[in-house]
């Protein structure tokens, strides 16, 4: 069995999506991971693990390199709708938004839900209204890369019933580049956050695993996990909560992550998911059954990028 990466709090682990990562600009991806690690760690100087994961994810949303924020993929109708969530392990409070369009950084809106509402999830136009009300920066529109990918698929006949049948296969081929972060702060509090544009050519209104507590992310007092991959499969298995349960029984972050990657592979095949996790002692691990899952870890002593294509 592999040994975990041992970090000292404050510490962070992030990922840029488990997917195909073919024809990826590897340098741009690596730079974006490094930048997000440093933004997350920087946030620990004034904030808790919630700020660490939100700042790291916001950095990846702004990079345009991943399927989140300005880099979000387009749905069948050519629109961007985004999902995001953040969870704090110390009191099990979470905030999530689904199918939102207004905020440039949906993860910041998820933090508003966590900190300023009594709810866990707010969706669609109502969440957009909240984003406007609290003065979040508006979404400038999708990147030209996202629009171009969508146009090419449209032109190659990727539409309608035929596409619906092939959709999951297509999602696996085209990549699943959602972003996520899990962190441990110097108070010992764990947190997890995630943000995504979902899967390209999804049906309008489709929501994946990312904002679903227990599926796309989970954090408690012992460990924090974030998943990436085909949301439909991750929801069915409740992947992040399962990882958390395995951790509570084994106290081994590598087993917690690897057991769930094995489980989803057995249930739905390879090329379907990845998972990152960190525990209360700063042990961190990431694994995926896809071609690649760029991930990285950092504490005040070092920063490492792993899992590159």
If binding is defined by CB under 6 A, does position 198 make contact with ligand ASP? yes
Selecting among 46, 117, 178, 272, the annotated active-site residue is 178
Alpha-carbon 141 to chain mean position? 20
Quick one: which of 199, 201, 212, 253 contacts ligand ASP (CB under 6 A)? 199
Site for ligand ASP in 34-73 (CB under 6 A): 67
- The CB density around residue 107, as the number of other CB atoms within 10 Å, is 31
Quick one: which of 10, 229, 286, 294 contacts ligand ASP (CB under 6 A)? 229
Is the bond preceding 10 in cis, omega lying within 30 degrees of 0?
A: yes
Whether residue 280 contacts residue 299, with contact meaning beta carbons closer than 8 Å, is answered with no
Which residue number, 7 or 215, has a Cβ lying nearer to ligand ASP? Answer: 215
If binding is defined by CB under 6 A, does position 214 make contact with ligand ASP? no
CB of 81 to ligand ASP, least distance (A): 10
Quick one: which of 81, 178, 255, 260 contacts ligand ASP (CB under 6 A)? 178
If binding is defined by CB under 6 A, does position 294 make contact with ligand ASP? no
- 178 counts as catalytic: yes
Helices (H), the chain: 26-43, 49-63, 106-116, 124-133, 144-155, 160-174, 231-237, 239-250, 253-268
Binding-site size, ligand ASP (CB under 6 A): 16
Task: Give the bridge partners for 276, in sequence order.
Answer: 226, 286
Select from 146, 276, 284 the least CA-distant residue to 217.
Answer: 276
Q: Which residues bind ligand ASP (CB under 6 A)?
A: 17, 67, 176-178, 196, 198-199, 208-210, 228-231, 234
Active site residues: 178
């Amino acid at each position: 069995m592999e040994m975990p990466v041992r970090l000292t709090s404050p510490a962070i682990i992030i990922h840029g999506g488990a997917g195909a990562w073919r024809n990826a600009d590897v340098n741009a991806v690596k730079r974006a991971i490094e930048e997000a690690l440093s933004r997350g760690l920087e946030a620990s100087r004034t904030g808790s693990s919630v700020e660490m994961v939100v700042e790291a994810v916001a950095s990846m949303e702004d990079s345009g390199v991943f399927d989140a924020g300005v880099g979000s993929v387009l749905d069948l109708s050519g629109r961007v709708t985004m999902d995001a969530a953040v969870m704090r392990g110390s009191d099990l409070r979470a905030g999530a938004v689904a199918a939102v369009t207004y905020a440039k950084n949906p993860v910041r809106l998820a933090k508003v839900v966590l900190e300023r509402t009594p709810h866990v999830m707010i969706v669609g136009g109502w969440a957009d209204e909240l984003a406007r009300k609290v003065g979040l920066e508006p979404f400038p529109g999708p990147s030209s890369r996202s629009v171009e990918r969508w146009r090419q698929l449209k032109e190659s006949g990727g539409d309608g019933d035929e596409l619906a049948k092939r959709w999951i296969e297509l999602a696996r081929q085209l990549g699943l580049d959602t972003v996520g972060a899990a962190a441990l702060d110097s108070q010992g509090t764990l947190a997890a956050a995630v943000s995504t544009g979902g899967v390209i050519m999804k049906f309008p209104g489709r929501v994946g695993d990312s904002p679903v507590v227990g599926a796309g992310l989970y954090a408690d007092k012992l460990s924090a996990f974030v998943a990436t991959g085909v949301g439909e499969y991750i929801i069915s298995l409740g992947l992040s909560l399962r990882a958390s349960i395995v951790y509570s029984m084994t106290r081994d972050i590598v087993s917690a992550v690897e057991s769930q990657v094995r489980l989803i592979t057995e249930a739905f095949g390879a090329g379907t998911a990845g998972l990152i996790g960190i525990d209360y002692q700063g042990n961190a691990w990431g694994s995926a059954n896809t071609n690649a899952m760029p991930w990285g870890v950092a504490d005040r002593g070092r920063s490492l990028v792993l899992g590159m294509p």
